[in-house]
Amino acid sequence: MNDPILSCRNLEKWYSGVHALKNVSLDIERGEALGLVGDNGAGKSTLIKLLSGVHLPDGGEIRMDGEPVRISSPRRAMDLGIETIYQYNSMVPNMSIARNLFIGREPMKFSVGRFGLLDLERMSRESVEAIANVDMHLRSPDALLAELSGGQRQGVAIARAMHFKSRVLILDEPTNHLSVKETDKVIGFVRGLREQGITGVFISHNMHHVFECCDRIVAMARGEIVLDRRVGETSIDEVHTYL
């Protein structure tokens, strides 16, 4: 089991004539926190979309634990244990915290095929536990998500990923539009991932955030990886010269 948890081999992606990913190869090691940086349009988001099942690559392959996998849909990615948190935080504001936590993966008391009656008690109970596990304290799982602050929402999203035993957590610009205090909270969550044995991929164009919570920095520019270093072996200034 020394294979990297996720391994991208020569990935290619075109968007209507634009070469968005050019022959990208990247190994993500088990348990590390990887920071992915780059300017807008550098290919970060494209790479993430391939890993989270939003798009399929036009060339190359993705391996998980050494086995080639075809991540054909977000659902498939989630089943493989790859969970993605977006800056808009993939939660529905007008639904309760408990319902948001289990969206698409609802526990059921009784079901016919994929459809059935929700186990509301279990959703309530487990969402309180899941949220407590990320050191957040919410009094009621029935409160609407819209009542939470931006940082709390990201906390719930991270609690959700942990609850479903995700193995790889991708955070796509999770600190955008957040206040300094809220950002610190999210960075704290990312630091906590390692203790839970979860591999993290943290995307940001704020270099300071990435250096604060990651073990390794990968920089992208014009659809290619231009730098790949341990945090201790590089500096913010050096990364900037590559972008």
Partner 1 sequence: MKRLLKIYLQKPELAGAMLLVLLVIVFQQQSDGIFLNAQNLRGVLGILPEVALVAIGVTVLMICGEFDLSVGSVFALMPMVMAVSMGSGLPFAAAVALGFAACVAIGLVNGFVTIRFAIPSFITTLGMLFMARSLTVVISGGFPPPLSPDIPTDAFVGFVGPGQMIRMSFVWFVVIATLVSVMLSRTNVGNWIKATGGFHEAASSMGIPVDRVKLFCFVLCSVLAGFAGLLQVLRLGSPLPSIGEGLELQAVAAAVIGGTALAGGIGTVLGGVLGALLIRVIDNGLVLSRVDANWFKFAIGFLTIFAVVANAWLLSRAKRMKVET
Q: Which residues sit at the interface with partner 1, rule CB under 8 A?
A: 52, 54, 73-75, 78, 84, 86, 88-95, 99, 102-106, 108, 111, 114-118, 120, 138-140, 142-144, 147-148, 152
Give the separation between CA 152 and CA 104, rounded to whole angstroms.
21
Residue with smaller CB distance to partner 1, 109 or 240: 109
Rank residues 93 and 197 by Cβ distance to partner 1 and give the closer one. Answer: 93
Please tell me the distance from the alpha carbon of residue 236 to that of residue 239, in angstroms, as a whole number.
Answer: 5
Q: Which amino acid is at 82?
A: I
Query: Between 29 and 142, whose beta carbon lies closer to partner 1?
Result: 142
CB of 20 to partner 1, least distance (A): 19
Query: Least separation, in Å, of the C-beta of 118 and partner 1?
Result: 6
- Angstrom distance (rounded) from CA 21 to CA 222: 8
Nearer to partner 1, 99 or 209 (CB): 99
Please state the closest distance from residue 97 (CB atom) to partner 1, in A.
Answer: 9
Least separation in angstroms between residue 129's CB and partner 1 is 17
Nearer CB in complex with partner 1: 2/94: 94
User: Shortest approach of partner 1 to residue 106 CB, angstroms?
Assistant: 4
